[in-house]
Amino acid sequence: MRAPLSWIREYAAVPESVTADEIGNALVRVGFEVEEIEYHGADLAGPLVVGAVLAIEEITEFKKPIRWVELDCGESTPRSVICGATNFMLGDLVVVALPGAILAGGFAISQRETYGRTSDGMICSSRELGLSDEHAGILVLPPKCASPGADALALLEIDDVVFDIAINPDRGYALSLRGIAREVAAAFDVEYSDPVHAIDLTAFAASKGGVSVKIDDPTGASVIYIRTLENFNPRAQSPLWIRRRIEKCGMRPISLAVDVTNYVMLELGQPLHAFDASQINGGLHIRRAGSTASFTTLDGQVRTLDPQDLLVADEKGPLALAGTMGGENSEVSASTTSLAIEAARFAPTAIARNARRHKLSTEASKRFERGVDPSLAQYASARAAALLIEFAGAAHLATEHDGEPRYSPTVDFDPTFAATLTGADISNATVAEKLRIIGCDIEEKSANLWRVDPPSWRSDLQGPTDLVEEVARMIGYDAIPSLLPPRPVSPGLTDSQQRRRVVAQLLADRGLVEVQTYPFLSDATMQVMGYRGERAQAFRLANPMSEDAPLLRTHLIPGLIEAAQRNMSRGARDFSLFEMGSVFRKNTPLPAIDNPAIDTRPTQEIIDAIYAGVPAQPIHVGGLLVGRAEREGWHGRGRVYDWSDAVALAEAVLMTCNLEWTIARSDFAPWHPGRCAELLVGGRAVAHAGELHPRVVAEYGLPPRSCAFVVNLSALPAREIVRASALGTMPVAVQDIALIVDASVPAADVAAALRSGAGELLESLELFDRYDQIGEGKVSLAFTLTFRAPDRTLTGAEVSVARESAVEAARLAVGAVLRSV
């Protein structure tokens, strides 16, 4: 909402000594965010005078039409200037900048030679005067609005300050000068004159004979007034002051009928609509669209109607999308001589839906959505009628109305609640004073029970806390002390939070840089990755940010690749990234949910259903390893990341969580099918690691053999209390075994077989060598087995038995043969 200071001062008796900055700060203090304070006319300097056009000579020898214009500027002799605009006639009043004047943007005017003449000033456009962006032609003033030579700066009220104020959705009343001025008056505790009080209703009593109106659907509107005017002069122009105020508020003057409805809306906050009464067939009805299929609004758009759209219609069909936009069929035109002025209190929900369904947010709908003072329909329509009578010679034919204003109920209020909720020391007297300032009536039923009647324009004041906010903002939030609440005992981080924190720290310590990527993917990416199963079940956004990325990620690798590509494009070669975050998979049925009302806590059954409708979103941690793990340097060649680095990092995550795992070969996408490890905890796959699929690597331009890992942190077993075991102190017996197996046999299977065969005496087992040069598709795997008994020194015989049992187990499981030395 843009509010000119000159207009604010008309209603709020703010002393002249108060500066615009001080008013801006006061507005902020009472809850109105001032986005900008504009100083109009600050860059203009006179002499700027009104000139009457005495003679026009068209000069045609140049590329564009040029006029040599003789002007009466109230001086002893006429003044002649060159003008490039042609939108004025003999006798018109225009604004003339005389030599010495400075126009918007620091443009200095002087006498100058141009087009072969001496131009002794300049005729100004609205833009050159800083009035608006209008620059298609020069500004033509309304006839007889001033005498030649009059000071145009004063006439146009150019010097002014305009506040651009952000209005919160609960304060519809402040989308008007009436509302803004009320706040300013309250903030400075000065007298306020409500413009509504100046409106005389006596000439506009309800009477039959004009356009009739009926609210067919009372859920759409509570009250409506239609004032019918005749003898309207369609050629009548808006007076300068109305045009100027509309311009300062950021709207464009259009025609008298439109300007008056806009002016009254800005003044009071009540949107109005003017119909050409001759285009109305029968009476008006406020009704839902129902089966009415379509309708053309005055912006020329054909609107396909929803059955629930609220309309203003006549016997034949829709005339307006109620509270949103009028129709082309009943628009006031250059031949209109009778008007029907509509002022209604439409239901905020109905108008919000109208506007949303048709993506049509208008000055009117913005106000109706936020709730318009129900008492205004009667007054604002009278105000508009009076202005049209005054400026267009119109006459009031009749006023018909339907419905009654519905006001918010009173609020029972314990005045001490203001102090209880704010923690500030506020007396009952102060509470009463502040509530009255904002327009409440108070009936003191008892010391602790007041019946507070909010003013008609404050439909947002529905409960005690709403009243406390009013009191608090009027005393100022600065008056509230700063205290700490009681300090309870913190539960600290949960095990899961602790784990995530330590895992992130671990990976950072291992040289990985954390990224946080957008979780949006394209269908093409899903294809390239080769996801199957639940990772192919992505949620699709109904309204994606970009059509290129309408899916929610089911896996972390694509985001990591994108971040890697960005780093590579900026010159990075050797690096590793990790990300920790949720993935989304549409792997459970999604029941349709009906959102319950919130008057009370919904039943547990309903809450359970709402919870159950939200899919599980496991937290993964993934890493991408690109280029070298170790630098090339004085110590030798750099070491390039390989699949084992990725596996080691996935294992490190599990190790950090104090878990045991087994490892198996996997062909999980998007990894290389021969170089992907699956890590299982308790038999459940929780991680994958290895080299990325060459196709993926090539597709995204990653260095060959880039590696990656992903661990599903949500799949890891919960932390368990470690049970300490007795430490054996007896000597160990160490045995080395070399086994020959088929190259296709996983070492993990050989190790598992050895472990199972070696029995309880085995303390640890380690692979210390792998030799693949023995041919025939065989490899040699050499293990160190360490044996220990808790209570005795093992004999050679015992160790031999265990060792042979281990080898036999490996022979049975994987066909291993002891390698002869």
Partner 1 sequence: MAIVGDLQQWVEDALSAISSANDLDQLKSARIAHTGDKAPIALASRALGTLPAEERATMGKIIGQARASVADAIAERTRVLEAERDSKVLLEEIVDITLPAQRGYRGALHPITILKNEISDFFIAQGYGIAEGPELEAEWLNFDALNIPADHPARAMQDTLFVEPLDARLVLRTHTSPVQIRTMLENEPPIYVICPGRTFRADELDATHSPVFHQVEALVVDCGITMAHLKGTLDLFARKMFGGEVTTRLRPSFFPFTEPSAEVDVFFNGRWIEWGGGGMVNPRVLKACGVDTEKFSGFAFGMGLERTLMVRHGITDMHDIVEGDIRFTRAFGVGL
User: For every residue of 157-174, which 3-state class applies, written as one string?
Assistant: CCCEEEEEEECCCCCHHH
What DSSP element (H or E) covers 451? Answer: strand 449-453
Does 492 bind partner 1 (CB under 8 A)? Our answer is yes
DSSP 196: G
- What is the spatial distance between Cα 42 and Cα 38, in angstroms, rounded to a whole number? 9
| DSSP annotation of 613 | T
Size of the site for partner 1 (CB under 8 A): 107
Q: Are 2 and 40 in contact (CB under 8 A)?
A: no
58 lies in the binding site for partner 1 (CB under 8 A)? no
The helix (H) or strand (E) run that includes residue 141 is strand 140-141
CA 101/CA 158 separation, integer angstroms: 14
Residues 626-685 that bind partner 1 (CB under 8 A): 629-631, 633-635, 639
Contact 553, 583 (CB under 8 A): yes
Positions in 547-576 near partner 1 (CB under 8 A): 552, 563, 566-567, 570, 572, 574-576
What DSSP string describes 787-803?
A: E--SSSPPPHHHHHHHH
| DSSP type of residue 148 | T
Nearer to partner 1, 258 or 355 (CB): 355
Nearer to partner 1, 641 or 783 (CB): 641
**According to CB under 8 A, which one of 493, 524, 698, 801 is a site residue for partner 1?**
493
Query: Which positions from 448 through 477 interact with partner 1, judged by CB under 8 A?
Result: 463, 465-466, 468-469, 472-473, 477
Candidate ranges 229-237, 478-486, 651-659, 811-819; the one touching partner 1 (CB under 8 A): 478-486
- For the CB of residue 633, give the shortest distance to partner 1 in the complex, in Å: 6
Q: Examine residue 145 and tell whether it contacts partner 1 (CB under 8 A).
A: no
63 binds partner 1 (CB under 8 A): no
Residues 29-48 that bind partner 1 (CB under 8 A): 29-31, 33
Q: Which of 525, 521, 514 has the alpha carbon at shortest distance from 581? A: 514
Nearer to partner 1, 93 or 577 (CB): 577
What are the Cα distances from residue 461, in Å, to 351, 368, 410, 458? Answer: 21, 17, 9, 6
Which residues between 257 and 276 bind partner 1 (CB under 8 A)?
none
Closer residue to partner 1 (CB): 59 or 504: 504
Asked if 13 and 185 touch (Cβ cutoff 8 Å), the reply is yes
Closest CA to 35 of 306, 230, 250: 250
| Smallest separation, CB 677 to partner 1 (Å) | 22
- Encoded one letter per residue, x for contact with partner 1 by CB under 8 A and - for no contact, window 340-379 reads --------xx--xx--x------------xx---------
Residue pair 673/692 in contact by the 8 Å Cβ criterion: no
In the region spanning residues 595 to 634, those forming contacts with partner 1, defined by CB under 8 A, are 595-596, 598-602, 607, 610-611, 613-615, 617, 629-631, 633-634
Residue 581 in the binding site for partner 1 (CB under 8 A):
yes
Phi first, then psi: what are they for 436, rounded to 5°?
-70, -35
What minimum distance in Å lies between the beta carbon of 422 and partner 1?
A: 4
Q: Which class for 704: exposed (0-12), middle (13-18), buried (19 or more C-beta within 10 A)?
A: exposed
Considering only residues 154 through 213, tell me which ones interact with partner 1, judged by CB under 8 A.
168-171
Asked if 787 and 763 touch (Cβ cutoff 8 Å), the reply is yes
Q: Of residues 528-547, which lie at the interface with partner 1 (CB under 8 A)?
A: 539-545
Tell which one of 18, 45, 389, 421 touches partner 1 (CB under 8 A): 421
* Interaction of residue 703 with partner 1, rule CB under 8 A: no
Least separation in angstroms between CB 808 and partner 1: 43
Instruction: Select the residue interacting with partner 1 from 139, 258, 344, 515 (CB under 8 A).
Output: 515
Nearer to partner 1, 239 or 581 (CB): 581
d(CA 393, CA 224) in angstroms, rounded, equals 25
Q: Is residue 423 at the binding interface for partner 1, with CB under 8 A as the rule? A: yes
